[in-house]
Structure 1
Amino acid sequence: FFSLCWWVPPCKPGESLVSHVPWTPATMHRGFVMTESNPMDEILPFLFVGAQLAASDVNYLQENDVSCVLNVSDVDYGNCYPTHFLSTHVPMCDYGECSLTKNLPQCFEFINSARSSNVRVLVHCQVGVNRSASVAIAYVMKHLNCTLRQSCKVVKDHRSIVYPVDNYLQQLIDYEKALRGETTCSLKDMQDIFRAGCPNMFNTPGFKNFKQPCLGGESDDEGDGELGSDNSLPSFGRNSQPSF
């Protein structure tokens, strides 16, 4: 499904793993080669989305004032954090077969607990593209009262490589319908939103012939990246209260 390969030389005592590793991996995700300069990105003042690499580096987390870690990958990495850190594991499968809506309440409770305590939380999966992004999009949609289009814009604008698999995209569409009584995106709209602005993903050798069942094949129209006129976004205060 993807391969993420780099060689990590030994760290010196007290050295940050993230600063030590040249963070330029090529990530094969559904046939797309992606590169990213940051192992995690700030989506909201209290919410980061990122990769396992960021979650595994306590020094890097402390440098960014992150003391809560939500792991939504299917691997339990255990608790390797200092006593003042909080961490939890809500396993989600990478292909999107599990129910997103069944996992969201536990994820939201953890995020809101960090938010109400005025601390920052990292939501991570393996590479910070699919599962953690899906949780972040759903969180913005529910607790900041945004449409699905707005929520996707917030997350993608801050972490350009996010691209949930089709199963999670459809669940996000269904989730918006449950929350708002209407949908603002079709599956095709969602694919176009996440494809926009990612030239590395669509100009790679062999992409033309690549077909992935979960993606449903290459679209004839990659879209122009327009998110529509529904782009007015609320202010995101770290201390603002979530809306239920």
Structure 2
Amino acid sequence: MFTLLRPEDNIRLAVRLESAFPQCTRYMVVVSANGRQDTEESVVLGMDFNPSDSSCSIGMVLPLWTDTRIHLDESIHVFKPVSVQAMWSALQSLHKACEVARCHNYFPGSLFLTWVSYYQSRVSSDQARINEWNAMQDVQSHRADSPVLFSEVPTERERTERLIKTRLREIMMQKDLENVTSKDIRTELEMQMVCNLREFKEYIDNEMIVILGQMDRPTEIFEHVYLGSEWNASNLEELQNTGVQYILNVTREIDNFFPSLFEYHNIRVYDEEATDLLAYWNDTYKFISRAKKAGAKCLVHCKMGVSRSASTVIAYAMKEYGWDLEQAFEYVKERRVVTKPNPSFMRQLEEYQGILMQFKMLFVTYSVVAGHVAKYLMCKCRQLSDHILLLKSKL
């Protein structure tokens, strides 16, 4: 670990964390240094230890800015220390570092924390470890949660609905859905649960629609781009059969299911009017383009493959093929009929169309100017050449 640090930096805390890989060891390390303003600046490093060769690598770099917030939440696990005592030490150290950042107003783009680039350039953990760090930043952990001591006891109806949801998915996965009716499925469900579910009919019908949407196959939009749902992202056999190697996860609520098998890129947003999805489309374009360049296929998914991921694929099509919004939207919707970006995303796509159009006009203008300059230079070269030949003839 120490060989990866700069000599002038200090380790304020090193806490061992749980890992999804039993053989691996992970540490959250808080590193501090004196900045240009002679104040203490801190960064959180994610360190991965490989037991096979005892090597250490950096898998995550997280600067502590003035707006960084530390939360202890029962449903969102940023880092999960191996013990309660370790968690308490981590919280104290992080709160202290964040308080210093707020006191001195450390913000991105300023002269503070410029030294963090040293560690960012040295992220070298393998992709599976990097995926694990990214996956745990913002979403509900798939590992068992800590016991909840004070929580509301679910009602009898809530417990029944949970059981219905689980059994319903199992039944629908086993049935040939082209040859059964919704009534057949409800009857099967009542037989398994040994009770009359008439009062839950509306709930069951709604859940059927959700499950059907999740179970639908991903839609091939382009040869290298598939558009799908959470179900598609969790179906390993289907992913392997379609040749997907890259997965673009455009959700805040869904974790990466197979971080050691696929290359992931996460856009952690909700399907809400306030979400600024446009801000991510440059990064999503680069990720999909990387998959295309590698000769691989990329699955772009959100919860249902309707709004967030569909908007992202439309934006990709506009930039990649030079299409306007109407053409890109109709192309995607023709292939995936459930495509329906929320109104805010549609406005952002219109704004993105304007940005791309301005860029195209600038490029055309640059090309025209460059052409004129080239002609002028060629003309001057000819004149100079003629002048040199004339001088040689006189000599």
Q: Is this a same-fold pair by TM over 0.5?
A: yes
CA distance in 2 between counterparts of 1:73 and 1:112 reads: 20
Counterpart check, 1:26 vs 2:209: yes
Secondary structure, counterpart of 1:49 in structure 2: strand
Does the 8 A contact of 2:243 with 2:297 survive in 1? yes
Letter paired with 2:332:
V
Please state how far the C-alpha of 1:165 moved relative to its aligned partner.
Answer: 0.5
- The reply to whether residue 53 of structure 1 matches residue 231 of structure 2 is yes
Per the alignment, in what secondary structure is the counterpart of residue 133 of structure 1?
Answer: helix
Paired letter, 1:53: W
Q: Which segments of 5 or more consecutive residues in structure 1 lack a partner in the other structure?
A: 11-16, 29-33, 183-244
Contact persistence 1:72–1:89 (CA under 8 A) = yes
Match of 2:321 in 1: 144
Opposite residue 8 of structure 1, the aligned amino acid is R
Aligned match of 1:180: 357
- Note if 1:8 corresponds to 2:181: no
Secondary structure in structure 2 of the residue aligned to 1:9: helix
Q: Greater share of helix residues, 1 or 2? A: 2
Residue ranges of structure 2 left out of the alignment (5+ in a row): 1-164, 183-207, 360-395
What is the number of equivalent residue pairs in this alignment? 166
Displacement after TM superposition at 1:19 (Å): 8.4
Question: Do the aligned partners of residues 89 and 180 (structure 1) sit closer, same or farther apart at CA in structure 2, a change above 3 Å counting?
Answer: same
C-alpha deviation, 1:79, in angstroms = 4.5
Residue 217 of structure 2: which of 24, 28, 39 is its match? 39
**For residues 230 and 278 of structure 2, what CA distance do their matches in structure 1 show?**
23
Q: Secondary structure at the match of 2:170?
A: coil
Once the two structures are superposed, what CA deviation does each residue of 1:114-159 show, in whole Å capped at 9, x if it has no partner?
0100100000000000000000000000111111111001100110
> Structure 1 166/56 Cα, relative in aligned 2: closer, same or farther at 3 Å?
same
Query: Are 2:249 and 1:71 aligned?
Result: yes
CA distance in 1, matches of 2:254, 2:287: 17
Deviation for aligned residue 1:39:
3.5
- Root-mean-square deviation (CA), in Å? 3.0
SS in 2 for 1:122: strand
More relative contact order in 1 or in 2 (CA 8 Å, sep 6+)?
Answer: 1
Asked whether 1:107 is paired with 2:284, we answer yes
- Cα shift at 1:99: 1.4
Q: CA deviation at 1:8?
A: 2.3
The answer to whether the Cα contact below 8 Å between 1:8 and 1:21 also exists between their aligned partners in 2 is no
Taking the aligned partners of 1:57 and 1:79, their CA distance within structure 2 comes to 9
Instruction: Give the TM-score normalised by structure 2.
Output: 0.38
Deviation at 1:106, TM superposition (A): 1.8
Contact 1:69–1:86 (CA under 8 A) maintained in structure 2? yes
Contact 2:230 2:254 in 1 (8 A): no
- Asked if structure 2 preserves the Cα contact closer than 8 Å seen for 1:69 and 1:122, the reply is yes
The answer (yes or no) to whether the contact 1:58–1:81 under 8 Å persists in 2 is no
Do the aligned residues in 2 keep the contact of 1:18 with 1:60 (CA within 8 Å)? no
Amino acid paired to 1:57: N
| Aligned CA distance change for structure 1 residues 37 and 86 (closer, same or farther; 3 Å) | closer
